[in-house]
Amino acid sequence: MAQAPELNSTFSVSQITGHIQHTLEKGFSSVWVKGEISNLTRHSSGHWYFSLKDSGAQLGSVMFRHQNESVRFEPAHGMEVTAHGKISVYPPQGRYQLIVDQMLPAGQGDLHLAFENLKKKLMAEGLFDPSLKKKLPAYPSHIGIITSPTGAAIRDMINILSRRWPLARLILLPVKVQGEGAAVEIARAIEILNSLNECQVLLVGRGGGSLEDLWAFNEEVVARAITQSQIPIVSAVGHETDITIADFVADQRAPTPSAAAELVVPDQLELIRWFSQVEQSLQSNMRRKMERHEQRLHAIAASYALKRPELMIAQYVQKLDQMEDKALRATQDKISKAAARLDNLFVSVEAINPLHVLEKGYAVISGAKGVVIRSIDEVSDGVELHMRLKDGEIISIARDVKKRKLK
């Protein structure tokens, strides 16, 4: 469908309408249009049908129910508005119209546009880059406050800062926060506190108000001053729901001035509690450490190495005892062995006692001189023989001596 029309070709109505549809819908897919509402019809379906017109033209417009539910004012015939949406072509009727998705009263619409444009521009320059954000000091000693000298915002901030962190010195730089020249004054204040070079963090903001009231914080001069500040800046403009350009470029955005005061300093009470905890944990930690070392000392004192002299003596004593035992045993052995031998000897000696033989009826024969006769050869007839018996002696004379073998 999106072919370029050839110069001399003839289109069907559908074809040319298709081309027109494509061109318009692509070329005007997101546009802001300012004009006066006329012929407004609120259909029972919930959709709004109307025209936007000015002195020279009118544009058929529709805002569907799911979009017009978020419109925060009552549009009426003759009202100047700024509408955002896309152009859509309706081929059956050969008509084009604006499909509106956002609508604002004209004055606000201008501001909104300016806001969107500046936001786009600064974003394109990279000013919202998270890597540009400076870190806030943990325990600031000097805090600069740029806001209106009157009103709740300054009071709230001072109250909260005094309660949470009386250690910090506050440096107030009162400025005009709305109306003609406010933006320039705010930007200048940021420069002044930077050149004073005393503050570690700046709070820049004001209390709630209308979009117009907060406008100074949507101006480029303020955004640039915030970006160029060497001191970290916390933006604190209006209420939770108010978002300004200053919020995007600040190092940190706080939803309200009170919240800014809370987040820029620690709470002394929390810190004091922390001190007590740390003190306790340090002490118990130290106690544990000491106990561990004591145990180690005990273990070392009881160790083999340190006990050695004592142990060595004990060992010697034991050895001596053992040796003593051994020696004693050895002596006793010897004595009892000797005794045994003596006993044996006694038995043997007893065994050969000739008197024992005599008991059995044998006799010992000896010559006259008392020499024991062992062989018949020592005897001849007529020799005197002494025969000793168990209980007496016979002296006799040998006769008939014959040698023969006793079997």
Partner 1 sequence: MSEKDKSFEDLMEELETLVAKLEGQDLKLDDAIKQNERALKLIHLCRDRLDSARQKIDKLVRTAEGGFEKQALD
Describe the crossing of helices 182-196 and 220-228 by its angle, rounded to 10 degrees. 10
CA angle 186, 188, 190 (to 5 degrees): 75
Q: Return the amino acid letter for 27.
A: G
CB of 238 or CB of 257, closer to partner 1: 257
Distances (CA, A) of 21 to 29, 96, 104, 199, 350: 11, 8, 27, 59, 155
Q: Residue 313: CA atoms inside 13 Å, Cβ hemisphere, count? A: 3
Contact residues: partner 1, CB under 8 A:
137-139, 141, 149, 158, 161-162, 166-174, 192-193, 196, 268, 271-272, 275, 278-279, 281-282, 285-286, 289-290, 293
CB of 7 or CB of 301, closer to partner 1: 301
CA angle 324, 330, 335 (to 5 degrees): 125
| Residues in a beta bridge with 60 | 51
Q: Are 183 and 221 in contact (CB under 8 A)?
A: yes
CB of 33 or CB of 261, closer to partner 1: 261
Residue 275 CB, nearest approach to partner 1 (Å): 5
CB of 282 or CB of 368, closer to partner 1: 282
Residue 67 CB, nearest approach to partner 1 (Å): 48
Burial level of 199, CB count in 10 A (0-12/13-18/19+)?
A: buried
Structure tokens at 119: 């936001």
Residue 298 CB, nearest approach to partner 1 (Å): 15
CB of 20 or CB of 136, closer to partner 1: 136
Residue 71 CB, nearest approach to partner 1 (Å): 44
Residue 62 CB, nearest approach to partner 1 (Å): 55
Please state the φ and ψ torsions of residue 113, each to the nearest 5 degrees: -60, -45
CB of 162 or CB of 303, closer to partner 1: 162
Under DSSP, is residue 204 helix (H, G, I), strand (E, B) or coil?
strand
Q: For the CA atoms of the chain, what is the radius of gyration?
A: 66
Under DSSP, is residue 23 helix (H, G, I), strand (E, B) or coil?
helix
Residue 224 CB, nearest approach to partner 1 (Å): 21
CB of 113 or CB of 158, closer to partner 1: 158
Residue 220 CB, nearest approach to partner 1 (Å): 24
